């Protein structure tokens, strides 16, 4: 057993189109945007598209799905107007996930924009508590993504993510997305198999591997500890092959969706190469 390898697939023309695009590059799991990631508002999902999405899911056999939320959302914002817009947009993301029966919704833990990390963590957790209270029957798991630590972003350390989870009242509704590029850029050493195993040991100690729901598999164009989020192709960046070899062979991670977010290339040629590279590391 190894990871359930997947891609971030384009939902251009409708979310139902993404599934075929995923299997075209040999993916067996899939991440999508359920709406335009650069806009606050979106039209409701068309019922016909939703129906076809479920048919396509059955036809393609893709069971594990992930939504990545809008880049505009900041549930840690100290600005009331931005926070309210973010909460409304995130609520919509969760409702779309429920409609599509998608298990996981990945979100960045926001940025405190000057209020301080402790205040940002409290605001983020309080935002989730309010949203979850308003959606008691929603089954989508909110996955907090590890971040590269740029600017005032939260989630640069396992401790910050653990602090958010600690303040969430219904902990069954939160999980974690581990992004290799972000975690490396934030100062976690993934340059050897041994150090990579040690990083996941630390994750288990601080957060708990039972909270890990999704992996984003990206190499890094920027060096260790750079705090810069720049994805590179698998095994070709500053992280290199050793970390990915350790990850795909770590029995503790077996079966989790491992999503590549690297440049797809013309006719998705890079996606095919990156997935083949990952599978080639499996012992």
Q: Is 160 an active-site residue? A: no
Catalytic residue among 16, 69, 179, 238: 179
Catalytic residue among 57, 173, 213, 216: 216
Catalytic residue among 38, 80, 137, 266: 38
Catalytic residue among 108, 156, 173, 213: 108
Q: Is 229 an active-site residue? A: yes
Q: Is 112 an active-site residue? A: no
Number of H helices and E strands in the chain, helices first, is 9, 10
What lies within 8 Å, CB to CB, of 257 at 6+ separation is: 3, 4, 6, 29, 31, 64, 66, 104, 213, 214, 215
Catalytic residue among 16, 145, 219, 238: 145
Q: Is 231 an active-site residue? A: yes
**Cβ neighbours, 10 Å, residue 80:** 8
Q: Is 59 an active-site residue? A: no
Catalytic residue among 8, 21, 57, 68: 68
| CA 208/CA 224 separation, integer angstroms | 24
Catalytic residue among 71, 139, 159, 166: 71
Catalytic residue among 16, 69, 219, 229: 229
Residue among 205, 188, 175 nearest 246 (CA): 188
| CA 122/CA 144 separation, integer angstroms | 14
Q: Using an 8 Å Cβ cutoff, are 181 and 220 in contact?
A: yes
Q: Is 57 an active-site residue? A: no
Catalytic residue among 8, 231, 232, 281: 231
Q: Is 216 an active-site residue? A: yes
**Cβ neighbours, 10 Å, residue 186:** 24
Q: Using an 8 Å Cβ cutoff, are 176 and 143 in contact?
A: yes
| CA 200/CA 235 separation, integer angstroms | 19
Q: Using an 8 Å Cβ cutoff, are 203 and 190 in contact?
A: no
Residue among 210, 230, 209 nearest 220 (CA): 230
Q: Is 173 an active-site residue? A: no
Catalytic residue among 57, 96, 173, 182: 182
Q: Is 16 an active-site residue? A: no
| CA 242/CA 147 separation, integer angstroms | 21
Active-site amino acid positions: 38, 68, 71, 108, 145, 179, 182, 216, 229, 231, 261
């Amino acid at each position: 057993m190894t990871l359930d390898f997947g891609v971030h697939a384009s939902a251009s023309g409708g979310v139902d189109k993404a599934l075929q695009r995923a299997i075209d590059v040999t993916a067996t799991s899939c991440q999508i945007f359920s709406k335009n990631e650069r806009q606050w508002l979106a039209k409701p999902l068309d019922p016909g598209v939703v129906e076809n999405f479920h048919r396509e899911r059955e036809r393609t056999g893709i069971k594990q799905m992930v939504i990545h939320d809008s880049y505009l959302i900041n549930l840690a914002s100290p600005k009331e107007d931005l926070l309210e817009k973010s909460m409304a947009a995130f609520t919509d993301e969760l409702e779309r996930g429920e409609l599509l029966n998608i298990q996981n919704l990945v979100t960045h833990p926001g940025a405190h924009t000057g209020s301080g990390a402790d205040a940002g963590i409290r605001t983020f957790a309080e935002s989730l508590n309010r949203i979850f209270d308003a959606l008691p029957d929603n089954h989508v798991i909110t996955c907090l993504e590890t971040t590269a630590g740029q600017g005032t972003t939260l989630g640069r350390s396992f401790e910050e993510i653990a602090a958010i989870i600690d303040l969430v009242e219904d902990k069954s509704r939160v999980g974690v997305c581990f992004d290799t590029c972000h975690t490396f850029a934030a100062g976690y050493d993934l340059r050897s198999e041994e150090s990579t195993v040690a990083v996941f040991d630390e994750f288990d100690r601080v957060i708990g591997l039972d909270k890990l729901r999704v992996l984003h598999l990206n190499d890094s164009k920027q060096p260790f500890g750079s705090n810069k989020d720049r994805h590179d192709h698998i095994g070709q960046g500053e992280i290199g092959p050793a970390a990915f070899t350790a990850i795909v062979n770590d029995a503790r991670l077996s079966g989790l969706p491992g999503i590549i977010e690297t440049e797809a290339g013309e006719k998705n040629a890079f996606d095919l190469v990156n997935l083949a590279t990952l599978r080639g590391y499996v012992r």
